Amino acid sequence: MTYEELIPAKGVVKEVINEAPGIKTFLIEVEDGYKEPAPGQFNEVYVPGVGEVPISVSDYLGDGVVAHTVRAAGSVTNALIDVGVGEVLGIRGPYGKGWPLSKFEGKNILVVAGGLGLAPLRPVVKKVERNRLKFGKLTILYGARTPQLLLYKYEFSHYRSIPNSEFVVTVDRPDALWDGCVGVVTTLFSKVRIDAKESVALVCGPEIMMKYTVKELIRLGFRGNQIYLSLERRMRCGVGLCGHCQLGPFFVCKEGPVFPYWVIKKYFWVDQI
Ligand SMILES: Cc1cc2nc3c(=O)[nH]c(=O)nc-3n(C[C@H](O)[C@H](O)[C@H](O)COP(=O)(O)OP(=O)(O)OC[C@H]3O[C@@H](n4cnc5c(N)ncnc54)[C@H](O)[C@@H]3O)c2cc1C
Ligand code: FES
């Protein structure tokens, strides 16, 4: 990697979508030379004068236009969600290894997402839909803490219309208008039919949610090489140079963020829950 490759490209914000309180999706047009990201990859997003954060690609619209869904968590993300249309950000990427979708052809795809974890899985749903005949059944299980915190609500009816698919949503705490499922995302496993032998599971969400999900998947008969997780670690360089994101022998930025469960099992401590 050369020094030039680490210089962020200019990205102009074209549209901002309010998803939920403190969460927005930005459509950003990156200048020429931006490579099409694979589902599950991330960009380092630089807010001028503030800092840089890794953010998953939540969609790619072609012609260098990339979507990022951002939750205000700390200094950089709070500055980022105040950025408006026409403002300029720095974009480095796409980085990391995404979901190895070509390996999953012919299999049923089980997507399990918690909260913001739907962001890196949304490109999977779109890619499976675009290549519908290459994959088996698509099952999407999605959970959020409250109905207000569900992302991409405007796409839900579309997800439900994808042929040979099932989309089930739950919330931990319903409001007066909610008439759907209530409970953590793992409660949804009893609501769908999953043939573990013919399936792969793609999981992203808070670490505790992923641990309980892995436990449940194993109980259902999934083996470690049928479960893929997208991990989050503190990052700096994003390209395997600084060591900030180390997990055992792995750099999450470079060898991840998506890992097969059997590869990182030793560092994921599912047995302790
Ligand atoms: C591969 C990858 C993809 C990501 N994708 C997204 C995304 O699509 N949308 C999004 O909103 N965020 C995403 N994140 C998380 C995002 O990078 C962090 O929220 C951000 O770096 C926080 O920076 P900050 O300066 O705003 O907050 P800080 O001031 O640095 O921290 C605020 C709080 O968040 C905690 N924190 C910061 N970074 C992390 C982390 N990586 N894991 C757990 N806790 C953390 C801190 O301990 C602190 O409590 C992703 C992270 C990774 C590694
Ligand atoms: S963030 Fe620098 S090595 Fe991963």
pLDDT digits (tens, 9 = 90+) for 33-62: 899 999 999 999 999 999 999 999 999 999
Q: Please, are residues 54 and 60 in contact by the beta-carbon 8 Å criterion?
A: no
DSSP per residue, 198-243: GEEEEEES-HHHHHHHHHHHHHTT--GGGEEEE-----SSSSSSS-
Q: How confident is the model at residue 272 (pLDDT cuts 50, 70, 90)?
A: low
CB distance 116 to ligand 1 below 6 Å? yes
> Which range has the worst mean pLDDT, 72-81, 107-116, 129-138, 260-269?
260-269
Tell which of 70, 95, 120 closes a domain.
95
Do 73 and 24 lie in a common domain? yes
Say whether pLDDT at 176 is over 90.
yes
Do 180 and 252 lie in a common domain? yes
Q: How confident is the model at residue 148 (pLDDT cuts 50, 70, 90)?
A: very high
CB distance 53 to ligand 1 below 6 Å? yes
pLDDT at 268: 74
Do 241 and 266 lie in a common domain? yes
Say whether pLDDT at 223 is over 70.
yes
- The rounded Å distance from CA 175 to ligand 2 centre is 41
Structural domain including 17 reads 4-95
Do 261 and 164 lie in a common domain? yes
Q: Please, are residues 231 and 224 in contact by the beta-carbon 8 Å criterion?
A: no
pLDDT at 156: 97
Do 145 and 245 lie in a common domain? yes
Do 239 and 152 lie in a common domain? yes
pLDDT at 2: 77
How many separate domains does the chain show?
Answer: 2
- The rounded Å distance from CA 14 to ligand 2 centre is 29
Say whether pLDDT at 213 is over 80.
yes
* Closest residue CA from atom 39 of ligand 1: 234
pLDDT at 1: 73
Do 182 and 54 lie in a common domain? no
- The rounded Å distance from CA 194 to ligand 1 centre is 32
User: CB count, 10 Å around CB of 22?
Assistant: 14
CB distance 56 to ligand 1 below 6 Å? yes
Smallest Cα–Cα separation from 169: which of 161, 183, 222? 183
> How far apart (Å, rounded) are the C-alpha atoms in residues 156 and 177?
17
> In the predicted model, what is the mean pLDDT of the chain?
95
The CATH code of the domain that includes 203 is 3.40.50.80
Q: Residue 56 in 3-state DSSP?
A: strand
pLDDT at 271: 62
Pocket test for ligand 1, best of 26, 44, 55 (most atoms within 8 A of CB): 55
Say whether pLDDT at 109 is over 70.
yes
* Closest residue CA from atom 29 of ligand 1: 74
Do 173 and 43 lie in a common domain? no
pLDDT at 185: 97
Tell which of 53, 71, 95 closes a domain.
95
Do 177 and 75 lie in a common domain? no
Tell which of 64, 95, 126 closes a domain.
95
Q: How confident is the model at residue 259 (pLDDT cuts 50, 70, 90)?
A: very high
Say whether pLDDT at 273 is over 70.
no
**Cα end-to-end span (Å), the chain:** 40
Smallest Cα–Cα separation from 189: which of 181, 178, 197? 181
Do 159 and 66 lie in a common domain? no
Report yes or no on whether pTM surpasses 0.85: yes
The CATH code of the domain that includes 62 is 2.40.30.10
Do 77 and 182 lie in a common domain? no
Instruction: Kindly state the percentage of the chain with pLDDT values over 70.
Output: 98
CB distance 46 to ligand 1 below 6 Å? no
Do 170 and 268 lie in a common domain? yes
